[in-house]
Amino acid sequence: MKIAMIGSGAAGSVFAGYLRRGGADLTLVDPYKEHMDKIAKDGLTFVIYPDNEYQLTGFKTAYNADNIGVMDIVIFMTKATQLENAIETAKPCIGENTVLVSLINGLGNEDKLAAAVGPGRVIYGSGVLGTALDGPGKCISSPGADKIQMNFGPMEMNELTEKAGKHLEECFINGGCPAKFWDDVRPAMWTKVVVNSVFNPLSALTRLKVKDLIADPNGLAMVIQVVAECCAVATARGCPMDPKTFMAGVKAAGGTGIQDYYPSMA
């Protein structure tokens, strides 16, 4: 299946790295000319933290979607605030059977895709791994502590979304990123929303890694407060979450994954 990655910065490049390692036919689309040119010429230097490095080739690259042809799957990895404009500019590569995918952090991105093509052609989800862009042509993945690193599912399960979702799942797994195509991805989505709402801003405000933040009694108290509020919101929106269970999961992660991560917001 032909896949376009609309937005190939840090997260888009990392996700593309796993997909390409898994055999995906990928076109990267991003206005960052130096990055696209470097990948087109030399391939993508893909680092999986701490010291596994791969040089991946075979990508097609473009600065926009105007002339890349119609795709089977179009993945959006722009900033959430840029998504509506990205959908508009991606129209040349969206056909009548193209499945649109959002792996962008946050809530409501799927609704923007559905407004363009209907819910029957939309898959949404997110990853639970850290990402960084280390200059043109090089990206770094910091795997999280969770057994499943990439969670996604359809707004409506049908032949199109099932085929696209299973293909992405297979490519991610074969590329070294444990992934799950869920019938209902909402619990996994809300877990990621809580993680981002808690650790990204608190690490940015304190300039501390997560493990150092929660090692301090005052930092831990802030974490618990925000976790409790986020879980209350998730529960009110129909996705029950227990703050004690969430914190037990953070504690069980030890010094790996999210605890070792220094969020880009910082």
Question: DSSP letter at 126?
Answer: E
Query: Mean pLDDT throughout 16-23?
Result: 98
Q: What are the Cα distances from residue 118, in Å, to 99, 124, 247?
A: 10, 13, 37
Residue span(s) of the chain under CATH 1.10.1040.10 come to 187-260
Q: What are the Cα distances from residue 180, in Å, to 52, 61, 84, 172, 194?
A: 23, 27, 26, 9, 19
Query: Mean pLDDT throughout 53-58?
Result: 98
What tens digit of pLDDT does each residue of 239-248 get?
Answer: 999 999 999 8
Name the fold adopted by 2-184: Rossmann fold (3.40.50)
Residue span(s) of the chain under CATH 3.40.50.720 come to 2-184
More confident position, 119 or 214: 119
- CATH, domain range 187-260: 1.10.1040.10
What tens digit of pLDDT does each residue of 165-201 get?
Answer: 999 999 999 999 999 999 999 999 998 889 889 999 9
What tens digit of pLDDT does each residue of 104-129 get?
Answer: 988 999 999 999 999 999 999 999 88
